[in-house]
A = this chain, B = another copy of it.
Amino acid sequence: MNSFGTLFRISIFGESHGKAIGIVVDGCPPGIALEPEDFLPDLRRRKSGASGTTERHEPDEPEILSGLHGGYTTGSPMTIMTRNRDKISSDYDDFLKIPRPGHADFTSLVKYSGFADRRGSGHFSGRITWGLVVAGVIAKRIAGTAGFSAKLISAGGSADIEGAVRKAVKENDSIGGIIECVVTNVPAGLGEPFFNSMESVISHLVFSIPAVRGIEFGSGFSSASMRGSEHNDPFTDDRGNTSTNNAGGINGGITNGNNIVFRVAIKPASSTGVAQTTWNFHSKKMDTLKVRGRHDTCIALRIPVVVESAAAIAVADLILTDRGIHDADRQRGL
């Protein structure tokens, strides 16, 4: 089930230490001006390198195999991939005996009967989100004037992200964080009841990103403590602007034209340098595991652009869907 979408359809592929990772984007309208360079800014935001991120450095340059001609999308599927280069696979052999707590080692073994490519966590690696970012760049073009902006607003429980990362690096541990994403200038009317509400589609995509533990829209979990009279967002003009935005720009699953706002909780990466006591499936007793290899202290640092891409993919698909079913009717004044 590595594909998603109704009209803007994406199919993701690849393993962390395999030959390549990539994505097929189908349903992209023809005539969108696009160059390989256009993918670089967002891909750079996802790359490692800053303090708190892994020492694995991949060039990550996109190769466009199909769907682009003469500088424009053609309307046929765009396949974009990048070859894996900087891989050290020897680190992963022990995890069959002692599956890493918090990691997919165990569930992957159960599901794929031992045939999964476990090198670098294979298809479960955060590396696979490269394709989401690529699709996000295309989706943002379809979304037209809508603006997408996600950023890390806290890490390890602290708004002082830099300090929290520094402390975690020193302690050889990993930390999580909270990402906030805001979509501006989104047209009203996007989202399809009952099952393809804007929140449903965004959350479906966001929970495919490794390490996500929660999502909330607008006032989110705090709305559970509010009164209706304080939670409701009063309208202030004919265009549907509201004075507050507890709804996160969505009523009844459909955008109301105000900003879409949501927050995503990222857990700390399971690979930590701290020793852990866990079951040894080989010796059949508790054992001590210390994970070596190159890992992210704060994986949340690299995820904002992925969350942003998920939002863009959702918005693009719901724009095309709405246009297909509803738009012409609105245009002819129905």
The answer to the question of A102 belonging to the interface, with a C-beta cut-off of 8 Å to chain B, is yes
Residues in chain B near residue A79, CB distance under 8 A = 13-14, 20, 22, 81
How many angstroms from the CA of A28 to the CA of B84 in the assembled complex? 23
Query: In the complex, which residues of chain B have a beta carbon less than 8 angstroms from the beta carbon of A308?
Result: none
Q: A123 to chain B: which residues have CB within 8 Å?
A: 66, 74, 76-77, 193-194
Find out whether the CB atom of B321 lies under 8 angstroms from the CB atom of A101.
Answer: no
Q: Mark A243-267, 1 if CB is under 8 A from B, else 0.
A: 0001110111111110000000111
Q: How large is the interface on A (under 10, 10 to 19, 20 to 34, 35 or more residues)?
A: 35 or more
Rounded to whole angstroms, the CA-CA distance of A15 and B219 in the bound complex is: 28
Which residue of B is nearest A219, CB measured?
A: B213
Asked if A12 CB lies within 8 Å of chain B CBs, one says: yes
Nearest to A289 among chain B residues (CB) is B234
Q: Which of A40-48, A54-62, A171-179 contacts B (4 or more CB under 8 A)?
A: A171-179
A228 and B174 contact, Cβ closer than 8 Å, known pairs A251-B102, A321-B7: yes
Contacts of A112 in B (CB 8 A): 30-31, 74-75, 326
Chain B residues closer than 8 Å to A185, beta-carbon distance: none
Residue A96 interfacial (CB < 8 Å): no
Contact between A13 and B4, CB atoms less than 8 A apart: no
Residue of B1, B11, B188, B251 near A11 (CB, 8 A) is: B11
How many of these chains are in the complex? 4
A135 and B210 CA atoms in complex are apart in Å by: 29
Given that A110-B189, A252-B104, A324-B320 are known contacts, is A11 also in contact with B24, CB under 8 Å in the complex?
yes
Q: How many Å from the CB of A178 to the closest CB on chain B?
A: 5
Contact A116 B76 (CB under 8 A): yes
Give Cα A241–Cα B31 distance, bound, in whole angstroms: 26
Residue from the set A108, A117, A176, A267 with the largest chain B CB neighbour count within 10 Å: A267
Query: What residues of chain B lie closer than 8 Å to A163, measured between beta carbons?
Result: none
Q: With the chains together, A68 CA to B272 CA distance in Å?
A: 29
State whether the Cβ of A53 lies closer than 8 Å to any Cβ in chain B: no
Contact between A157 and B224, CB atoms less than 8 A apart? yes
